[in-house]
């Protein structure tokens, strides 16, 4: 398939459909500048979710971005932050954004502890969060490996 509009040329080689395995290459060109990207759809299913970081210590007022990392049946991992439902165990301690484009963005509101959860169906991951008044002006995450 080829499309031309306002000086752009787009060529798609191969086919793929949501839910059906396949590969497609998308090439775009404008003038002498071109680029391409390959899209591969597999039949892998989501088997686990981890929130990164899994533990976080932050100062009151700090905003930090959490990420949901999905592990699939074909052993691949992918950032699925925007595909998750996010909640906080205590919005008085920490709030989490749920709007498109800002999901997982967490604000440390008041001193205390909270659990930030990311859920999709029966699968979920968590970040244990602790808010304090003292410490550095930046968030400190404790790195962990994805599930």
- Greatest distance between any 2 Cα atoms in the chain: 59
DSSP 81: G
Task: Supply the pLDDT for residue 146.
Answer: 52
For domain 46-142, the question of CATH label 3.40.190.80 is answered with no
Q: What is the pLDDT along the chain (147 residues), one digit of tens a residue?
A: 555 545 555 566 655 565 677 777 777 888 888 888 887 778 889 999 999 999 999 999 999 999 999 999 999 999 999 999 999 999 999 999 999 999 999 999 999 999 999 999 999 999 999 999 865 454 444 444 455
Task: Supply the pLDDT for residue 147.
Answer: 52
Please state the separation of Cα 21 from the chain's center in Å. Answer: 23
If one counts every other C-beta atom within 10 angstroms of the C-beta of residue 144, the result is 13
DSSP string, 21-52: EEEEEEEEEETTEEEEEEEEE----EEEEEEE
Task: Supply the pLDDT for residue 17.
Answer: 60
- Kindly report the CA angle at 16 between 12 and 19, in degrees rounded to 5? 155
The residue to which tokens 């060529």 are assigned: 11
Domain boundaries, the chain: 2-41, 46-142
Task: Supply the pLDDT for residue 142.
Answer: 45
């Amino acid at each position: 398939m080829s499309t031309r509009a306002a000086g752009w040329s787009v060529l798609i080689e191969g086919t793929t459909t949501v839910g059906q395995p396949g590969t497609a290459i998308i090439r775009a060109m404008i003038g002498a500048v071109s680029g391409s990207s390959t899209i591969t759809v597999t039949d892998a299913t989501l088997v686990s979710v981890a929130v990164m970081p899994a533990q976080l210590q932050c100062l009151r007022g700090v905003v930090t971005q959490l990420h949901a990392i999905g592990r699939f049946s074909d052993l691949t991992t992918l950032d699925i932050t925007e595909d998750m439902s996010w909640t906080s165990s205590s919005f008085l301690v920490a709030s989490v954004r749920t709007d498109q484009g800002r999901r997982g963005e967490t604000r440390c509101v008041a001193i205390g502890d909270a659990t930030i959860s990311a859920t999709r169906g029966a699968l979920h991951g968590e970040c244990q969060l602790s808010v304090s008044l003292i410490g550095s002006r930046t968030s400190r995450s404790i790195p962990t490996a994805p599930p």
